Amino acid sequence: MTDDPNKTTIAGSIWLDKSEQRFLGQKRVELLRQIASTGSITQAAKAVDWSYKAAWDAVSAMNNMAEQPLVASATGGKHGGGSRITEYGLRQIQLYDAVAGEYQRFLGLLSEKVHDVDELMNFMRRLVMQTSARNQFLGQVTSLNLGPINAEVGVDIGGDHITALITRGSVESMGLKEGSEVYALVKASSVIVMAGDVNLKLSARNQLRGTVADCKKGAVNGEVTLQLAGGKTVTATITNTSIDGLGLKEGDPAIAVIKSSSIILGVAV
């Protein structure tokens, strides 16, 4: 603190990123604390003044980015079963608290020493990639099947596996090899949902089995989110007529079908 009201000081908040994607920030950490306290995403959302959808999306994003789920939900979603913070999730909260404490101490020291704050902030500003793809998974390449023009890339997204079809040139330009860390991006409109737990032979390479965790209707289309066995979630945009025709409701088994050519892969640079 300073007695000079005209002195410029430095303030800020901290985010923990995973490969240039925002993972944990103050608001998300507070949401996790409230889930740990209440055992409910609904109650936690109210406590941090978020809508249920915003809270659910944040939990899904964190679970999809993390090596292990931070929040585990029982079958039934918001209407039954509740949610709990995993041991891994508690460790992430502790990590954030430790880093945030050091960060605030660092900002205090900077405020005492730095005179040209604008120049400093321009230097420190980071550009973070943003994408309209609803589904973003951080994964690891497990297999490469190279052809003359195209390549099949197997990716472990944390307990579930997907296959992407990309050009061989893309594999080479990104430097992909087994063990490489990659982002897998899938637009919600590219995800097909099948009800039940049936075994069908389809031309679509990826069939991710899970249970319906959230199902919301809009004016014409709705969003259906499946909780996968590995702890990740995948969201599909389908028509309200399809939701009704499939009889989808929370807790039901369902399958997310994704063509391998609909998956975009990316790497951090």
Per-residue model confidence as pLDDT tens digits over 221-244: 999 999 998 889 999 999 999 999
4 pLDDT higher than 60: no
For residue 33, is it within any domain? Answer: yes
Does 99 lie in the same domain as 54?
yes
Query: What integer is the mean pLDDT of 36-52?
Result: 91
pLDDT score recorded for residue 17: 72
Find the domain containing 245 and state its range.
Answer: 188-260
65 and 91 within one domain: yes
Q: Of 128, 152, 175, which residue sits at a domain end?
A: 128
Q: Is residue 115 part of a domain?
A: yes
Does 73 score more than 50 pLDDT?
yes
Same domain, 41 and 57: yes
Query: Residue 256 in contact with residue 234, Cβ under 8 Å?
Result: yes
pLDDT of residue 99: 84
168 in a structural domain: yes
pTM over 0.85: no
Listed residues 99, 128, 157: the one ending a domain? 128
* d(C-alpha 44, C-alpha 183), whole Å: 29
Report the pLDDT averaged over residues 171-183: 92
Whether the predicted pLDDT of 11 surpasses 80: no
Say what the pLDDT of residue 34 is.
92
State the CATH number of the domain containing residue 121.
Answer: 1.10.10.10
Q: What is the mean pLDDT of residues 258-264?
A: 94
Q: Smallest Cα–Cα separation from 112: which of 12, 14, 9, 13?
A: 9
Residues 46, 149, single domain; the answer is: no
- Work out the pLDDT band at 79, boundaries 50, 70, 90: very low
Check whether residue 118 and residue 13 sit in a common domain.
Answer: yes
Number of domains in the chain: 3
163 in the same domain as 92: no
**133, part of any domain:** no
**Mean of pLDDT over the chain:** 83
First-to-last C-alpha distance (Å) of the chain: 38
Write the CATH number for 149: 2.40.50.100
Same domain, yes or no, for 100 and 148?
A: no
Residue 202 in any domain: the answer is yes
Domain membership flag for residue 152:
yes
Question: What's the rounded mean pLDDT across residues 79-100?
Answer: 82
Clarify whether residues 151 and 214 are in a common domain.
Answer: no
Beta bridge partners of 163: 154
Q: Evaluate if residue 23 carries a pLDDT over 70.
A: yes
Residue 129 is predicted with a pLDDT of 42
- 71, part of any domain: yes
Asked, for residue 27, whether it belongs to a domain, the answer is yes
Give yes or no: residues 121 and 156 share one domain.
Answer: no
Distance CA 204, CA 101 (A): 48
Q: Does residue 168 share a domain with residue 114?
A: no
Please check whether residues 42 and 21 belong to one and the same domain.
yes
Q: Are residues 94 and 204 in the same domain?
A: no
Amino acid letter, residue 126: R
Q: What is the pLDDT of residue 97?
A: 87
- At 111 the pLDDT is 66
